[in-house]
Amino acid sequence: MNVIIIGGVAGGMSAATRLRRRDENATITVLEKSGHVSFANCGLPYYIGGVIEDRKDLLLQTPESLHRRFGLDVRVRTEATAIDREAKTVTARDLDSGDELTIPYDALVLAPGAAPIRPDIPGIERALTLRDVEDTDRIFAAAKEVSSAVIIGGGFIGVELAENLVQRGIATTIVEAAGQVMAPIDPEMVAPVHRRLADRGVRLELGSGVTKIGADDVTLESGAVVPGDLVICAIGVRPSTALAEAAGLEIGERGGIAVDERLRTSDSSIYAVGDAVEKRDAISGEQVLVPLANTANLQGRTVADVIAGDEDARDRPVLATAIVGVFGLRVAATGWNEKRLRAAGRPYRAIHTRAAHHAGYYPGAEEMSLKLLVDPETDAILGAQAVGGDGVDKRIDVLATAITGGISASKLSTLELAYAPQFGSAKDPVNMLGFINENRASGMAKSIQWHELPAAVERGATVIDARSPEEHARGAIPGAINVPLDELRERAGELPDGELVVHCAVGQRGHSAARILVQQGRDAVNLDGGYETWVAGTGAAGEPQAR
């Protein structure tokens, strides 16, 4: 069997090596147009910042090492230029000699990835992008010469680049057209990220696109001019579909190559994986573009199983589980966020909690904020976000695993998670999400979200601050009456009639306060996530902050 794989990095190389492990006899040819295969795309920003010191560490394999270990015929600087579906051949060009070659296939795997989007603005030709080792070399060389940089786009790659350029002493601005960086995170969860970036000297220009790139600066829609000797465009990627389109393969509505759950394109001898394809969303089942290494690698493995004749091999729907480090802060998400649920008009229950990553009495506990989104009818977990210090990765992975395994939100309260004081808490933050969800699902606890507070106040609700007078004095929700939790039973008679919205700092004392009041016959709800979430949300939404 002749198998050709176009694209020799995440999806393509996973397919090639898995296929070899399943089939010693197949002839496997990998065509890669860049100068490197199997390189560490996800590590590229950290080489630019000097965290990865040796460029060789980015290059995980070479054509020679892949030939030795896996018997692969890997051709770098060889671009596939056409697919003849009738003759079942691929034409490719050697980019150094200019020679053309035509190779026959029985099965063809397209893993060409995606290409950075370049907006059509004056001066864009000066902007660099980051996708492969060659791009990295260009940015690395340029970074040695400059004192200022503008990164257009505040997504995961933009934020990682900002950290690494600052590491090199370069004054760095992120320009982001949306009102926040990192779109998968909801606004109240992203506030600490904005704070961390600003604290470390990154200038944030949010809610304003770029209109022009000058010789050493960038002009924004707002009219502001930002210094930028180096300009990097990181506004997202577009699936590389040119070859597939030219071969008449079906392209989906989202612009990626259409594949079925066996990763077959509209031609049953041609498969496609990775950033180039549309994937099936795990929450809605709709087609989505999720350009992540984890799914590209998993698809590469699956497609090899399919080609090797495994009847059970199926592609799995995606959650888009992702994590990024921002100057020591960990920011992670899986599944849908609240913005997307609201936009889709889908009912949900949102839960915020804040916890230490391990027992508070053990030195070095770091705080994290967690958010869970739940289907109120089925109790299914729809998504989760985690922002904070150590332990964020562990919690988001437990939650992603729970979604994949069909574990309901209330069942999170029953998970037995490893505990010793230096690693966690006897009631892990993930268990806490389950407890809160159980209380909410059973109707024992009612709560409202930070963005629902103005409407509650409008209809006459009184806000009760159950924190201490010292905490209240440091900053409070306008109009809130301060009755500390420990005094609430005695002073409940002082509270005005009507609906009460109770809050504390993060939600736990507020829950106890609401329970006292409800058991006294009052109409009381807890402000989910407390004052801290309200501050983060209203601040992120551009409304006045009380601190």
Nearer to ligand FAD, 331 or 492 (CB): 331
Query: Residue 63 corresponds to which tokens in the numbers above?
Result: 């054509």
Angle, helix 429-441 to helix 392-405, in steps of 10 degrees:
50
Bridge partners, 318 (sequence order): 281
Q: Which residue among 211, 294, 482, 512 contacts ligand FAD (CB under 6 A)?
A: 294
Contacts of 255 (CB under 8 A, 6+ apart): 238, 239, 241, 278, 289
Cβ 419 to ligand FAD, closest distance in Å?
A: 29
DSSP string, 44-67: HHHHHTTSS--GGGGB---HHHHH
Query: Residue 119 corresponds to which tokens in the numbers above?
Result: 């907006």
User: 63 — phi, psi (to 5°)?
Assistant: -55, -35
The per-residue b/e assignment along 228-247, b for 16 or more CB within 10 angstroms, e otherwise, is bbbbbbbbebbbbbebbeeb
The amino acid occupying position 347 is P
Q: Does 367 bind ligand FAD (CB under 6 A)?
A: no
- Write the binding mask 156 to 175 for ligand FAD: x where contact by CB under 6 A, - elsewhere: -x------------------
Q: How far is CA 516 from the centre of its chain?
A: 39
Q: Does 315 bind ligand FAD (CB under 6 A)?
A: no
Rounded distance between C-alpha atoms, residue 129 and residue 234, angstroms = 6
Q: Which residue among 41, 173, 241, 385 contacts ligand FAD (CB under 6 A)?
A: 41
Rounded distance between C-alpha atoms, residue 434 and residue 409, angstroms = 6
Query: Residue 321 corresponds to which tokens in the numbers above?
Result: 């589980």
Cβ 367 to ligand FAD, closest distance in Å?
A: 23
Region from 271-279, 327-335, 362-370, 464-472 binding ligand FAD, contact rule CB under 6 A: 271-279
- 74 near 67, Cβ under 8 Å? yes
Cβ 173 to ligand FAD, closest distance in Å?
A: 19
- Write the binding mask 231 to 260 for ligand FAD: x where contact by CB under 6 A, - elsewhere: ---------x--x-----------------
Q: Which residue among 3, 4, 5, 7 contacts ligand FAD (CB under 6 A)?
A: 7
Per the document, the length of the chain is 547
Cβ 138 to ligand FAD, closest distance in Å?
A: 13
Q: Does 80 bind ligand FAD (CB under 6 A)?
A: yes
Q: Which residue among 3, 4, 5, 12 contacts ligand FAD (CB under 6 A)?
A: 12
Rounded distance between C-alpha atoms, residue 165 and residue 231, angstroms = 11
Q: Which residue among 184, 291, 383, 530 contacts ligand FAD (CB under 6 A)?
A: 291
Cβ 374 to ligand FAD, closest distance in Å?
A: 25
- 130 near 142, Cβ under 8 Å? no
Nearer to ligand FAD, 321 or 337 (CB): 321
Q: Does 31 bind ligand FAD (CB under 6 A)?
A: yes
Residue whose Cβ sits closest to ligand FAD: 274
Q: Which of residues 109-138 bind ligand FAD (CB under 6 A)?
A: 111-113, 130-132
Nearer to ligand FAD, 61 or 408 (CB): 61
Region from 27-35, 48-56, 259-267, 351-359 binding ligand FAD, contact rule CB under 6 A: 27-35
Tell me the torsion sign for CA atoms 45, 48, 52, 55. positive
Q: Which of residues 512-531 bind ligand FAD (CB under 6 A)?
A: none
Quickly count helices (H) and strands (E) in the chain. Answer: 16, 29
- How many residues interact with ligand FAD (rule CB under 6 A)? 33
Nearer to ligand FAD, 34 or 410 (CB): 34
- 138 near 128, Cβ under 8 Å? yes
Q: Does 59 bind ligand FAD (CB under 6 A)?
A: no
Q: Does 296 bind ligand FAD (CB under 6 A)?
A: yes
Q: Does 11 bind ligand FAD (CB under 6 A)?
A: yes
Cβ 291 to ligand FAD, closest distance in Å?
A: 5
Nearer to ligand FAD, 401 or 520 (CB): 401
Rounded distance between C-alpha atoms, residue 101 and residue 156, angstroms = 38
Cβ 42 to ligand FAD, closest distance in Å?
A: 3
Q: How far is CA 18 from the centre of its chain?
A: 27
Q: Is 353 exposed, middle or buried (0-12, 13-18, 19+ CB in 10 A)?
A: buried
Rounded distance between C-alpha atoms, residue 541 and residue 188, angstroms = 8
Nearer to ligand FAD, 110 or 365 (CB): 110
Rounded distance between C-alpha atoms, residue 427 and residue 416, angstroms = 9
Q: Does 182 bind ligand FAD (CB under 6 A)?
A: no
Nearer to ligand FAD, 2 or 468 (CB): 2
Query: Residue 382 corresponds to which tokens in the numbers above?
Result: 């729809």
Rounded distance between C-alpha atoms, residue 186 and residue 152, angstroms = 20
Query: Residue 236 corresponds to which tokens in the numbers above?
Result: 């997202």
Bridge partners, 73 (sequence order): 29
Q: Does 466 bind ligand FAD (CB under 6 A)?
A: no
Q: Is 136 helix (H, G, I), strand (E, B) or coil?
A: helix
Region from 53-61, 291-299, 366-374, 527-535 binding ligand FAD, contact rule CB under 6 A: 291-299
Q: Does 83 bind ligand FAD (CB under 6 A)?
A: no
Q: Does 44 bind ligand FAD (CB under 6 A)?
A: yes
Name the E strands within 427-492: 447-448, 462-465, 481-482
Nearer to ligand FAD, 111 or 370 (CB): 111
Nearer to ligand FAD, 80 or 524 (CB): 80
The site for ligand FAD (CB under 6 A) is made up of 6-7, 9-12, 31-34, 41-42, 44-45, 79-80, 111-113, 130-132, 157, 240, 243, 274-276, 291-294, 296
